[in-house]
Each structure stands twice: as C-alpha cells, then as structure tokens.
Structure 1
Amino acid sequence: MQTAGVALLLSAYVYSERAWSDQTLGGSVVGLFALATPIVLTARAMRSSAFMPAVHMAAGLAFLAVFLDRTTSLSGDAIVWVLDLVLVGAIAVFVRVLLGDPDGQRHPWALNAFVLAMGGGFVLVALTVFETLHMSEDGLLALDAWLLLSAGVTLWGVHLAPPGLRRSWFGVLLSLEMLAWIGLGLLTVDETFGGPPELAIALVGGAGVLAFVHADRHGLRALMAAASLAFIVPVWWWAVERGGALGGIAALVGTAVFLFWASGRREQLFKAE
C-alpha cells in the first residue's frame, strides 16, 4: 500500500505540469516537494521497516528527475546523466555501508536498497544507451554487461557473502536474472550480432547448461527451472530455423525428455531436503 502511495504521489507531481509550467513559481514549488518527498519518507521508514527505505530510495531517482525537470533548464539527456551519477554514488554508499555492517544489524535496510539500486540500474542503462547515446542495437551489449555484473554480485551473495547478509531469496533473484538473459541474449544474438541460431545455443543455451549444473550442485530449484528454459528456448529456435516443422517436432520431443529428467532431479532435491 505504501508503494502504491508513492506511485500516486509521483504521478501527481508529474501531472502538475498541466497546471504549472516548468520553472514557474508553482512548478518550482512542486519540484521542491518532489525532492523532499523521498527524503522524508526514507527517514521515517528507516525506523520501522527494512524494505520500505529501499523502495523510497529507488523511487527517489524518479522524484529527483521530476525536481530537475520542474526547476531547472536541463535537457532530458542531461537529467539522465545526473541520475546515472546519483545511482553510481548511491551504489557506492550502499556497498560501503554493507562492508561496515556485515551482520546487517545496524542498517537492515541497506541490502534491500542495494538490490533495488542494481535493478534500477537496468532502467538507467537502457535510457542512457538508447535515448541519450542513441546506440540502437549496440546498446544491448551495455545491458548484457550490467546483467552480468548483477548476476556476479548475486552469486557472491549466495556463496561468499557474510552470513548476516545472505538471504534465502537470492536463489530466486538469480533465476530471474537467468530468465532476463534468455530474452536479452536472444536479442543480442539476433539484433546486435545478426548471428545464426547456433550462436544463440552457445551463448544462451550454454549459460543455461552451466546454470543448471550449478543449481543442481547447490540445490537452487528456482534457478534449475530458469536454466532449463535457457537451454530449451534457443534449441527450439534452432530446430525450427533449420528443420522447419520436423525440427519443431523433434525439439518438442527432446524438450519433453529433458523435462522428465530435470523433474527427476528436482524430486531428488526435495527428498534430500
């Protein structure tokens, strides 16, 4: 409910442009309110929640964009660059806070804030490369790099983070990143490289195989399911492209066999637990 309230406030500030133009007295007042809103809400939430401060900080980037748009003459591209700098600075601060509080006792909100900041990074990377730099297909490589960085940090959280910073939902987060790689990887192969389906099998399917082996070894069931899809989808693409209808049928049969085997592995994991 609080998150919905934040979204409504942001919508109201954006909609206020219909009543007061940018850089007018009314527009500037609205901009100042937009800047103050996440500061006040974050300070208040820190006393009672470990999650809502992270939401307010992430939403703070959008409120900051409204403030800059309503009170300054900065262009849209310049505002995006400012948001990039703020995000990088915020991530650096969160990392420092986490390193100084490895048990997560003094600042229980910091880990959630860091995770949401990394997630928000995808939006800003996309805005920067596609809208500000106008990179078209090559911009996908920047998103690939950010996804790889995020997955690396998540793996660190699963296996190497101090016990106080480990969370049971890291495995689910890793599976979501694997799912994101399916779509992003296929787009990169098709749009950026213009490569054949075999390249998709190597990049996306190969990552799926590695992730499946890793998930099987460490009992990460959500990742195992996502990794299965990462292998299946590019194989389907390859089979249909190279074999037409017969290839599609063969891919479906092969997928069914694979899923039966993967299901057996999941049952073994359940029994082991």
Structure 2
Amino acid sequence: MSKSDIDSALQRWQESGLISAELVERLQAEHDSSQQARRRRFLQYAVSGTAGIILVIAAVTFFAWNWPDLGPGVRTGVIAGAGVGTLLLGMRLENARRFVPVTYALQTSGLILLLAAFMYSTEAWGNTTAGGIAVGLLALATPAATIPVFVRRNAVMPAVSAALAYVFLAAFLFRAFDLDADIVIWILDGALVATLAVLGFLLHPGRAESVPRGALYAFAVSLYAGYPMVGMTAVGPLELDDNAILALDVWLLVVTALALWGIHRAPAALRSARYVHHIAASVLLAIPLGFGTTLGVYELPPLGAAAVIAAAGAAGLWYGLARDARVLVLCSCATILSAAWYLGVDEGERLGTVLALAFTAILFFWVSTRLGRTRES
C-alpha cells in the first residue's frame, strides 16, 4: 500500500470518528520511520551484495592465478577456510531471521566444503600419518561440535548434520586408520543402528512431550541415510550382487511401515498426518526399486513389471484420496504414469498395451472427479 493510500485511509477513519487526530499523527510517523528503515536496509543489501560479487571475482582471479602454484596443504586449508566461512555466514544470517532457507543452504554447503577439504587432504598427508590422523580427528570433531550448537538454534540443521555425520565418520576411519572399506561400512551400520536406537529412546511415549522437533527430524534423516547404508552393505560385505536391491526393498517397507505407524498408531504426542510425505517419498522410490527388482531379480516381462509399479502407485493413490493428501496423490499419479510410459515405450505396438494405457487414462479421469467432489464437499 502506497503512502497516499495510507494517508487517505487514515483521513477517512479520522473523519468517521474511528481514530483521533493524535493517533493519525502517530501512525503516520511510525509508517514514515518504517519506510526509511526499509530503504536503508535495501541500500545495505545492494551495497553488501555488490561487495560480495567483487569479492567472489577477486577470489576467482586469485585462484586462477595461484591455484596451480599452491601446495596440497595450502589448497586443503583454502577449501576448509571457505567451508568455515560459509558455515559462519549462514549462522550469522540465520540470527537475523531473514531468508532462513538460504541460511540452511549456506550452513549445509559449509559442512560439505569441510568434508571435501578433509577428503582432499589425502593429497597432502597420507592415511595414518600424523597429518592424516589430525585431519581425521578434525573430521570426527566437526559433527560433534556442530550438532549441539545446531540443536539450540533450529530443528533442521541438527538433522542435516546428523546425516553428514556418517560421512565425517567414514573420513575419520579412512584417514586415521586406513581401514578396509567393508570394515568401515560395518562400523557405519553400527553407528546408524545406535543413532536410531538412541533417538527411538528419546521418542519413547513417556518422553515424547519433551523431545524437540530436531530429534524427529534427525530420526527421519537417519532412516533415509539407511538407504545408501543398506545398499553399500548388500553390495560390499554381503556380496549380494544383483540381489542387493532386495535389501533396499526391505528397508523401503520398514520406512513406509514406520510412517503409517506414526500416522495411525503412534502416541498422541508423536502422531501426525504430516508423515504422509514419507509415504509419498516411498511411492516415488518404488519406481526405481520396483523396476530393478521385477526386471533385474525376478526377470518379469514388461507387463508384469509395469503392473507391480502401477500397483504401488494405485495403493498410494487410494490412501492419498482417503486422507485428502495432495502430495501423495501427485506422487502416486507420477508412479502410475511411469509404469504406463514404460509399458507404452516397450510394448508400443500391442493391443494390450493400448488397453492398459486407456485404462490408466480412465483412472486419472476418475481421480479428477473424486478430487472435485472432495473440494465441493
């Protein structure tokens, strides 16, 4: 609203006797002060943004000029310094409570840069050397130092740091002990199980009311971290080869079952309809896992593989319509569409495929009518 609109509205309210002349003057003065502060803030952003761009240009020029001449240790320090600076910048901006998602991205980028520095440090110091052990200890200390700080600030970054903590732990094990990859995987599996057990204890029904959201987020992120963990364990130490995807299928069922439990059976303090987003993610993950299982492990024909994927999408669609969960309905439709698309591309000249695609189209039309009825009611 422009200043003239505000002045005319205040004048109209004063003439109607709704507010006094004194209040009009106070409101106009407050609005003028707010506008001046907003203009100053805009100028600050403009000047600081320009300074930041100039700094980036200067840094790029410096690295393009000197990077080949820098030693591996100096390069490691530069990457680590950039990570620390990015992390602190994100935390500083978060304190201002503006552009909060951007601050989370900055902090996450800072942690990733630190991780990259620890891994790149192998160019300067080999594993199990004094330098390598020192870097490994720094990698181990990073999540231990950041998670307590993040817990006191917000509920998102503890979960992000918990997810990256497994990679930091792997960096520590490689740099400090130079362990075999299979041993590292088993240790990471143990850390994951221990983390889930501790978080599960904190989320126990008797303690749930005092648990911050960060614990829930960390538990959810750890569950999703289980996908690469399970995959690496199945391919590496267990040597399941092509059957490794079956382990991922089992983990998918575990995550989905926990989400359903959280929606329907969890204690009141933990129960939430928002867990439907995890079911939506499971429906989407069913696309690659379903195709990999049906075609790679069981060697089903294309029609059978598409039917399995479509069944997963149909189950999600039925549940999403019953719960009026838009995100689940959209993900389920995408799953069904992927099955129909695969079938159409692979079996494009057969009548059965045409009928299957026609049935899919009819299904989507029916879904649209159901959605329309839901909104009208």
TM-score > 0.5, shorter chain as reference: yes
Residues in 2 aligned to 1:256 and 1:243: alpha-carbon distance in whole angstroms: 16
2:259 paired residue among 154, 158, 177:
154
1:228 CA displacement:
2.7
Matched with 2:208 is 102
Mind listing any 5+ residue stretches in structure 1 that lack a counterpart? Answer: none
1:62 paired residue among 150, 153, 167:
167
**Normalized against structure 2, the TM-score is what?**
0.67
Residues in 1 aligned to 2:240 and 2:211: alpha-carbon distance in whole angstroms: 42
1:197 paired residue among 299, 302, 305:
302
Alignment RMSD (CA, Å): 2.1
Residues in 1 aligned to 2:242 and 2:123: alpha-carbon distance in whole angstroms: 35
Matched with 1:230 is 335
Residues in 1 aligned to 2:288 and 2:155: alpha-carbon distance in whole angstroms: 32
Mind listing any 5+ residue stretches in structure 2 that lack a counterpart? Answer: 1-105
Deviation digits for residues 95-130 of structure 1 (CA, Å, limit 9, x no counterpart)? 111014222x33331110100000000011111112
Aligned-residue identity in percent: 35
Residues in 2 aligned to 1:247 and 1:239: alpha-carbon distance in whole angstroms: 10
Matched with 2:183 is 78
Matched with 1:32 is 137
Alignment of 1:185 onto 2:290: yes
Deviation digits for residues 180-206 of structure 1 (CA, Å, limit 9, x no counterpart)? 002211110000111123432453222
Residues in 2 aligned to 1:227 and 1:158: alpha-carbon distance in whole angstroms: 18
Matched with 1:117 is 222
Check whether the contact 1:129–1:142 (CA below 8 A) recurs between aligned residues: yes
In structure 2, what residue type is equivalent to 1:159?
H
Residues in 2 aligned to 1:30 and 1:243: alpha-carbon distance in whole angstroms: 56
Alignment of 1:92 onto 2:197: yes
1:254 paired residue among 330, 349, 359:
359
Q: Which runs of 4+ in 1 moved over 6 A?
A: none
Worse-matched range after superposition: 15-24 or 233-242: 233-242
More RCO (CA 8 Å, sep 6+): 1
* Larger Rg, first or second structure (1 or 2): 2
Matched with 1:4 is 109
Residues in 2 aligned to 1:248 and 1:137: alpha-carbon distance in whole angstroms: 28
Residues in 1 aligned to 2:213 and 2:341: alpha-carbon distance in whole angstroms: 44
Residues in 2 aligned to 1:106 and 1:241: alpha-carbon distance in whole angstroms: 50
In structure 2, what residue type is equivalent to 1:204?
I
Q: CA, structure 1 residues 55+241, in 2 after alignment: closer, same or farther (shift >3 Å)?
A: closer
Residues in 1 aligned to 2:349 and 2:187: alpha-carbon distance in whole angstroms: 49
In structure 2, what residue type is equivalent to 1:179?
L
Q: CA, structure 1 residues 247+17, in 2 after alignment: closer, same or farther (shift >3 Å)?
A: same
Worse-matched range after superposition: 250-259 or 114-123: 250-259
Matched with 1:134 is 239
* Residue-pair matches, total: 271
Residues in 1 aligned to 2:178 and 2:342: alpha-carbon distance in whole angstroms: 48
Residues in 1 aligned to 2:196 and 2:234: alpha-carbon distance in whole angstroms: 20
Worse-matched range after superposition: 189-198 or 113-122: 189-198
Check whether the contact 1:10–1:63 (CA below 8 A) recurs between aligned residues: yes
Residues in 2 aligned to 1:69 and 1:102: alpha-carbon distance in whole angstroms: 37
